[in-house]
Amino acid sequence: MTDMQKAVYEREHERFCVSTGDVAIDFNQVFGNGKPLVLEIGFGMGMATAEIAQKLPDINFIGIEVHRPGVGKLMSEIMNRGLSNLRIVERDAIEVLERCLPNECLSGVHLFFPDPWPKKKHHKRRIVNERFLSLISAKLKSGGYFYMTTDWEEYAHEALSRLEAFPGLKNSAAGFSERQAFRPVTKFEQRAIRAGRPTFELYFLKP
Ligand SMILES: C[S@@+](CC[C@H](N)C(=O)[O-])C[C@H]1O[C@@H](n2cnc3c(N)ncnc32)[C@H](O)[C@@H]1O
């Protein structure tokens, strides 16, 4: 972290990060309103997250990340852009889903360029598995969406088969979907573009 990021992190943590324990977060209290809630898992440095929140002020966003420099960077973005509809949880996403979110509280879940774990022996670390999909579908409201993107073709196909086999979510497209207009290019997507890798989009709905 730069000195600037460290300073912002120390000073503003309480203001922009939601502290969590083992009880459900009261989002009406966090945001002071009951607007629809969208969760982003693994926002990285958070530039796309901040841009989306600025573009969609009628939606509340919670970004989850464990990488502290990214948390510090997104805190600065929230401050600089004056965003009242975006807050951060600095904790493992699975723990947050399991322990801190009430069922059927989310209108959407974003998972942009999750760690691809390219080596076969590490595939079991990939976040998109049965347990994850069960958690996502339990936390989504009926009609809510799960939006995933990846530039890792083999992971994209694995995720697509898992999602299509999972009864709690339905594909909104035949196979991979179109890019959603609200989504800016993320930091990891920029790398993929430079390396000539296309992005695969998966957009599923909870019936
Ligand atoms: C490949 S990066 C993508 C970052 C960003 N979404 C982008 O597109 O630029 C994946 C991010 O997910 C975060 N991450 C991975 N597993 C996580 C977990 N279980 N809980 C929270 N964050 C996680 C990592 O720290 C990393 O910043």
E strands, the chain, in order: 37-41, 60-64, 86-89, 106-112, 140-150, 170-171, 200-205
Q: Cα(96) to centroid of ligand 1, in Å?
A: 14
User: 175: which 2 tokens?
Assistant: 């196979």
Instruction: Note the pLDDT of residue 102.
Output: 95
Residue 70 CA: which ligand 1 atom is closest?
Answer: 27
3 confidence band (pLDDT: 50, 70, 90): confident
Asked whether the predicted pLDDT for residue 4 surpasses 80, the reply is: no
Inter-residue contact 151 to 113 (CB < 8 Å): yes
Provide the percentage of residues in the chain whose pLDDT is more than 90: 96
- Does ligand 1 have an atom closer than 6 angstroms to the CB of 46? no
In a mutational test of the pocket of ligand 1, which residue from 41, 88, 89, 112 has the highest number of ligand atoms less than 8 Å from its CB? 41
Alpha-carbon gap, residue 122 to 116, rounded angstroms: 9
- Does ligand 1 have an atom closer than 6 angstroms to the CB of 24? no
Instruction: Note the pLDDT of residue 177.
Output: 98
Query: Which distant-in-sequence residues (6+ apart) come within 8 Å of 191 by Cβ?
Result: none
Compute the Cα dihedral for 105, 167, 203, 130 and give only its sign: positive
Q: Cα(202) to centroid of ligand 1, in Å?
A: 17
pLDDT digits (tens, 9 = 90+) for 45-67: 999 999 999 999 999 999 999 99
Indicate the DSSP class of residue 52: H
Provide the percentage of residues in the chain whose pLDDT is more than 70: 100
Inter-residue contact 26 to 104 (CB < 8 Å): no
Q: Just list the catalytic residues.
A: 115
- Does ligand 1 have an atom closer than 6 angstroms to the CB of 187? yes
Asked whether the predicted pLDDT for residue 5 surpasses 80, the reply is: no
44 confidence band (pLDDT: 50, 70, 90): very high
State mean pLDDT over 169-180: 98
pTM above 0.95, yes or no: yes
In a mutational test of the pocket of ligand 1, which residue from 115, 125, 135 has the highest number of ligand atoms less than 8 Å from its CB? 115
